[in-house]
Chains A and B, each alone.
Chain A
Amino acid sequence: MSGISLRGVSKRYGSVDVVHGVDIEIDKGEFCVFVGPSGCGKTTLLRMIAGLEEISGGDIFIDGRRVNGIDPARRGAAMVFQNYALYPHMTVEQNMGFGLRMNGHPRAEVATRVKDAARLLQIQDLLTRKPRQLSGGQRQRVAIGRAIVRNPQVFLFDEPLSNLDAELRAQTRVELAKLHHQLAGSTMVYVTHDQVEAMTLADKIVVLRAGVVEQIGAPMELYESPANIFVAGFIGSPKMNFVNVSAERDALRLDDGSQLARPQTKTAPQRLGVRADQLTIIDPEKGAIRGEVSVVERLGDSELVHVRTAWEQEIVVRVPGGTNSRVGSTVGLALAGRVHFFDAEGQAITVTSQARTND
């Protein structure tokens, strides 16, 4: 049975359409991440699933039940807010048990459930503290704990890591992945603008832009076969390099006049996309693209070499750490691996036989 199902869901604020008829199927127990730039409607979509935002059109089903117009508390979903939304005047224990207590659960049961959740999140020592006495990471755990005690079928996370510093974010990301494993069977919907979080946490990624679903798929599926130029550029770090090409009969011409072999495609490619690690630096005379090294970012295990081409575009190449590329030197770039082609509308073009790229 489906965990959550969105059918033709749209949202309007007055005359402004924010979400345009979105269809998404999320399986039970799946970790689904909505990712996209700010203003793409991902949080609105999450809030519509939660019931905090009215649905302007379409239907939302949770566990097979249509939930349009059903009270948030009766949808079997718990939400973790971006700024945690802990009640400042209550202790951690009271925060976690508040919903249960208000709904008439016996004191003993509330205490047990709070203790269990606290043990799972390793915050047993913090139960008597107030939110302001906690660090950001601890508040985050309490907010998750408040969701867990309700024992929901669906967890909704609204950018839960965006208020944490980089180190803590990476750490909490791993813990969230573990938590999903421990709470097997509960569906999680997670909103973020950070594609790294999406890639590392998700079973399924939904890429949104301007209220429209651009692509849905498993992380590596999106990484390896993006449906369009937006997804290609959004997923993966550093960003995919895009180069304008003009298609000739059996060659692709770059802006500086050099040529590449043309792959067999139905439509003529207008843009070529290649990831930084699918390029290699070779002798300037031999490369498909020539350019000058402008910046080198040393990451330790690898280096990101920014190469400025003859037509003034920066192309990023990932080379092994310790290569010590020199700024200002002229280099050639070879397309060493997978290359993506896009048509004039930015849609991916399927290549019937992959081109050998070096002339």
Chain B
Amino acid sequence: MRSDAVEKDRGGLPALSPRVKRMLVSIVLAALCAIWVYPLIWMLFASLRPNAMIFADEGLIPSQPTLENYARAWTEANMGSYFFNTLFVTVGSVILVTIATAMMGYVLGRSSFPGRAALFGLLVFTLFVPQGYTIIPIFELLSSLGLGQSLLGVMLATTAGSFVIFVLLFAGYFSQMPDELEEAARMDGVGFVKTFWFVMLPLSKPIIVTVIVMQTLYAWNDFLLPLVITLANPSIRTLSVGVYAFKGENFIDWGGMMAASAITIIPVVILFLLLQRYFIDGLAGAVKG
């Protein structure tokens, strides 16, 4: 949240000193923040309550905290193995997506070839196709490749999520690079592939960071696609699908679901705390790129 932008909107109140203005803005933002964060806090505390006490009116802090929800979720509900499934899907798709979109973006951004404009148009068009429409074709495609029931299939399908946006990001960034860099490499006798790998790719670090961050979040949190692909094979579920499975026909295991949700969210939160700077740079890079 950008406080200076909010301040500008309030420029019509000349009577307030900048200090007072900043305090007012901070209070408003803090209130918004609390509303935003409260459900997450509630989830964390609820995950520490026994199931019988979930909706007991005892305040936010549980009177008899327990970790049994976590134990149940991790072992009985297989969240442990789902965790590693998700890790595989995320890491694998991030690696594939980063390399593939960078290569595609480089060619689209820097070379002119017949049909380039048409290809661009086609890519942009796919952005307007809702994900729901693509699920059946993707599932068909995976099945015909023999990957319909495998974790590798989930991973490959996940790479497609924001692929086009990343290609366009890379293409835009590469197209702004000075021609002289490539020409210098040409004079040096460095070929197309080596120029890409040793000169252009290292220079596109801001976009690489953006792509890694955005793809990580997407792959970790994606729900609909893994839900469909893993319907028939629960052992390859990802975390987000696993959480949904707590909702049974007649009974919802709220405690287990809260614990599973916490297991799902905590790695992303830790990742964010460690790589905060890169996350913000990365998302800002996406806007600028």
**A contact set with B: CB distance below 8 Å:** 50-52, 71-74, 77-79, 81-83, 85-89, 98-99, 102-103, 146, 150
Q: Which 9 A-B pairs have the closest CB atoms?
A: A99-B188, A73-B189, A85-B180, A85-B184, A102-B190, A89-B202, A81-B180, A79-B187, A72-B186
Within 8 A of A (CB), among B177-198: 178, 180-181, 183-190, 194, 198
Q: From residue A322, how far is it (CB to closest CB) to chain B in Å?
A: 47
> Is A52 within 8 A of B186, CB to CB?
yes
Taken together as a complex, chains A and B put the C-alpha atoms of A52 and B202 apart, in Å, by 24
* B189 close to A102 (CB less than 8 A): yes
Contacts of A72 in B (CB 8 A): 186-187, 189
What's the minimum C-beta distance from A256 to chain B, rounded to whole angstroms?
A: 53
Could you tell me if A88 and B186 are in contact, using CB atoms closer than 8 angstroms?
A: no
Chain B 188-219 interface residues, beta-carbon cutoff 8 Å to A: 188-190, 194, 198-199, 202-203
Q: How far is the CA of A51 from the CA of B198 in the complex (A)?
A: 22
22 A-B pairs within 8 Å (CB atoms) are namely A52-B183, A71-B189, A72-B187, A72-B189, A73-B186, A73-B187, A73-B190, A83-B178, A83-B180, A85-B183, A86-B184, A87-B203, A98-B185, A98-B198, A99-B185, A99-B188, A102-B188, A102-B190, A102-B198, A103-B188, A103-B190, A146-B188
Cβ contacts under 8 Å, B185 to chain A:
98-99
Which residue on chain A has the smallest CB distance to residue B181? A85
Contact status B203-A99, CB under 8 Å: no
Contact of A98 (CB < 8 Å), options: B180, B183, B190: B190
A74 to chain B, nearest CB (A): 8
Would A77 and B178 count as touching, CB distance under 8 A? no
Contact check, B190 vs A81: say whether CB atoms are below 8 A apart. Answer: no
Q: Which residues of B contact A85 (CB under 8 A)?
A: 178, 180-181, 183-184
Q: Please indicate the chain A residues that have their CB under 8 angstroms from the CB of B184 in the complex.
A: 79, 81, 85-87, 146
Q: Are A150 and B178 within 8 A (Cβ)?
A: no
Q: Which residues of A contact B202 (CB under 8 A)?
A: 89
Query: Which residue of chain A lies nearest to B188 when distances are taken between CB atoms in the complex?
Result: A99
CB distance from B34 to the nearest CB of A (A): 43
- Interchain CB contact under 8 A, A77 and B189: no
Judge whether B190 and A99 touch: CB under 8 Å.
yes
Interface of A is mostly: loop
Name which residue of chain A comes closest to B189, CB basis: A73
Which of chain B's residues have a CB closer than 8 A to the CB of A83?
Answer: 178, 180
Q: Which residues of A contact B199 (CB under 8 A)?
A: 87
Considering only CB atoms, which chain B residue lies closest to A53 in the complex? B183
| Bound form: Cα–Cα A102–B191 in Å | 9
Chain B: CB-nearest residue to A147: B187
B181 touching A73 by the CB < 8 A rule? no
Most buried by A among B181, B184, B185, B186: B184
Q: B181, B183, B189: which contacts A103 (Cβ < 8 A)?
A: B189
Interface centre among A50, A79, A82, A85 (most CB of B within 10 A): A85
| CB-contact partner of A88 in B188, B190, B194, B203, under 8 A | B203
Q: Which residues of B contact A78 (CB under 8 A)?
A: 187
| A89 proximity list for chain B (CB < 8 A) | 202-203
By beta carbon, the residue of chain A nearest B182 is A85
Task: Report the minimal beta-carbon distance from A11 to chain B, rounded to whole angstroms.
Answer: 16
Q: Give the residue among A72, A79, A87 with the most B Cβ atoms within 10 A.
A: A87
Closest to B191 in A: A102
Besides A83-B180, A99-B185, 17 other A-B contacts (C-beta < 8 A):
A72-B186, A72-B189, A73-B186, A73-B187, A74-B189, A78-B187, A79-B187, A82-B180, A87-B203, A89-B202, A98-B185, A98-B190, A98-B198, A99-B187, A102-B194, A103-B190, A150-B188
**Max count, chain A CB within 10 A of own CB: residue among B178, B186, B187, B202:** B187
How far is the CB of A138 from the nearest CB of chain B, in Å? 17
Give chain B nearest CB distance to A4 CB in angstroms: 16
Measured in the bound complex, the distance between the Cα atoms of B184 and A85 in whole Å is 7
Is there contact, CB below 8 Å, between A81 and B186? no
Query: Please, which residues of chain A bring their CB within 8 A of the CB of B186?
Result: 51-52, 72-73
Q: Which residue of A lies closest to B183 (CB)?
A: A52
CB distance from A55 to the nearest CB of B (A): 16
What's the Cα separation between A163 and B4 when bound, in Å? 37
Complex: A102 Cα to B198 Cα, angstroms: 9
A73, A78, A82 — most chain B CB neighbours (10 Å): A73
Task: Give bound CA distance, A79 to B188, whole Å.
Answer: 9
Residues of A within 8 A of B194 (CB): 102
